[in-house]
Amino acid sequence: MFSSSEVFAVQILLHSSVYGPSLLLSSVLPDQAWLDHHSRSLGFFIDGKFVHLAERRSLSVLDSKGGQVCGVLCAEEADVSQCAASAVSAFKSWSLLSCYQRAKVLLRSVQRRSTELLRVDRSSHDLPVLFFVVFFYRGLRRSDTPSLSSFPGVVAVVTSDDSSVYSLMLKVVPALAMGNAVIVVPGRSVAPPALLLAQLFSGAGLPAGVLNVLTGSDVTLGVNVAQNPSICYVTYSGSKPDGLALVQASAGMGVPVSVSPCVGATCPFIIFESADINSAVDEVIEAAFKKKSEVHWVLCVQESVCDNVVDRLKLRLAGLKCVSLQSEADRSLVDTAVQEAQQQGATLIQSCSAPPSGPLYPPTVLCGAAPASPCVVSPAPGPLLPLMTFRCHKEAVAVGNHSPHGLAASIWTEDLTLALETAKNLSVGSVWVNSHSVVDPCLPVCAHKDGGSCTDGGQEGLYQFLRPSVSSLPIRSSAVPLDYSKFGTEESPAVIPDPASSPPSYLQFVGGKACKSVSGCSVAVQSPGGGGGVLGLCPEGGRKDVRNAVEAALKVQPGWQKKTPSARALSLHALVKGVEAKRQDLATSLHTQTGVSMDEAEKEVELSITRLALWAAYCDKVQGGSLPMPKSGSALSFPEALGVVGVVLPDESPLLSMVTLLGAAIASGNAVVMVPSQKHPLPTIAFIQVLQSSDLPAGLVNVVTGRRDQLTVALANHSVIRSIWYWGSAEGCRYLQYTCTRPLKTLRLVSQEGQDEGVDWTQASPSFLEDLWRNAVQWKSVWIPTA
pLDDT category at 110 given cuts 50, 70, 90 is low
User: In whole angstroms, what is the distance from residue 176 CA to residue 197 CA?
Assistant: 13
User: What span, in angstroms and rounded, lies between the C-alpha atoms of 452 and 247?
Assistant: 12
Show the CA angle centred on residue 75, arms to residues 738 and 247, nearest 5°: 10
From CA 58, how far away is CA 68, in angstroms rounded?
A: 13
Q: Per-domain residue ranges for the chain?
A: 75-261+459-465, 265-437, 508-519+541-621+643-779
CA separation for the pair 184, 166 (Å, rounded): 14
- β pairing state of 181-185 and 154-159: parallel
pLDDT higher than 60, residue 4: no
The pLDDT of residue 140 is 60
The pLDDT of residue 527 is above 80 = yes
Per-residue pLDDT at 755 = 52
How many Å is the maximal CA-CA distance in the chain? 90
Residue 125, pLDDT above cutoff 50: no
Q: Assess whether pLDDT exceeds 80 at residue 672.
A: yes
pLDDT over 50 at 769, yes or no: yes
Q: HEC states along 234-268?
A: EEEEEEHHHHHHHHHHCCCCCCCEEEEEEECCEEE
The residue ranking higher by pLDDT, 769 or 302, is 302
Q: Nearest 5°: phi and psi at 596? A: -75, 165
Do residues 640 and 777 make contact, with C-beta atoms less than 8 angstroms apart? yes
Mean pLDDT of 577-586: 95
Residue 589 CB partners (closer than 8 Å, separation 6+)? 655, 682, 683, 685, 686
Report the C-alpha gap between 97 and 686 in whole angstroms: 51
Go through the chain and tell me how many residues it has: 787
Which H or E element spans position 779? strand 777-784
Q: Which of 323, 172, 177, 193 is nearest to 236 (CA)?
A: 172
Among 436, 414, 388, which residue's Cα sits nearest to residue 277? 414
* Most confident option among 114-123, 335-344, 466-475: 335-344
Residue 61: predicted pLDDT = 85
Mean of the pLDDT values across residues 465-475? Answer: 67
The closest of 774, 185, 695, 225 to 453, measured between CA atoms, is 774
Query: Of all helices (H) and strands (E), which one includes residue 610?
Result: helix 598-618
285: pLDDT confidence band, cut at 50, 70 and 90? Answer: very high
Residues 346 and 82: their CA atoms lie apart, in Å, by: 56
Q: What does the pLDDT average to over 18-45?
A: 63
CA-wise closest residue to 452 among 627, 648, 269, 239: 239
- pLDDT at residue 403, rounded to an integer: 84
DSSP annotation of 290 reads: I
Q: How many helices (H) and strands (E) does the chain have?
A: 25, 31
Question: Which amino acid belongs to residue 381?
Answer: P
Give exposure, 711-732, as e/b (b: 16+ Cβ within 10 Å): bbbbbbebeebbbbbbbbbbbb
What is the predicted pLDDT for the residue at 120? Answer: 33
pLDDT in the model for residue 128? 59
Q: How many CB atoms lie within 10 A of CB 123?
A: 8
Residue 493, classed as helix, strand or coil, is coil
Q: Please, what is the average pLDDT of the chain? A: 85
**Rounded mean pLDDT, 660-665:** 96
- Whether pLDDT at 397 is above 70: yes
Mean pLDDT check: name the lowest of 197-211, 421-435, 682-696.
Answer: 197-211
What's the pLDDT at 23?
32
CATH fold of the domain at 508-519+541-621+643-779: Aldehyde Dehydrogenase; Chain A, domain 1 (3.40.605)
Assess whether pLDDT exceeds 50 at residue 239.
Answer: yes
- Percentage of the chain surpassing pLDDT 70? 86
User: What confidence score (pLDDT) does residue 531 get?
Assistant: 61
Q: What is the arithmetic mean of pLDDT over 492-496?
A: 50
- For the domain made up of 75-261+459-465, give the CATH fold: Aldehyde Dehydrogenase; Chain A, domain 1 (3.40.605)
pLDDT higher than 90, residue 201: no
Distance of CA 735 to the CA centre of its chain: 19
Answer for the pair 763, 627: CB distance below 8 angstroms, yes or no. Answer: no
Decide which of 3.40.50.1100, 3.40.309.10, 3.30.750.24, 3.90.45.10 is the CATH code for 265-437: 3.40.309.10
Fold match flag (75-261+459-465 vs 508-519+541-621+643-779): yes
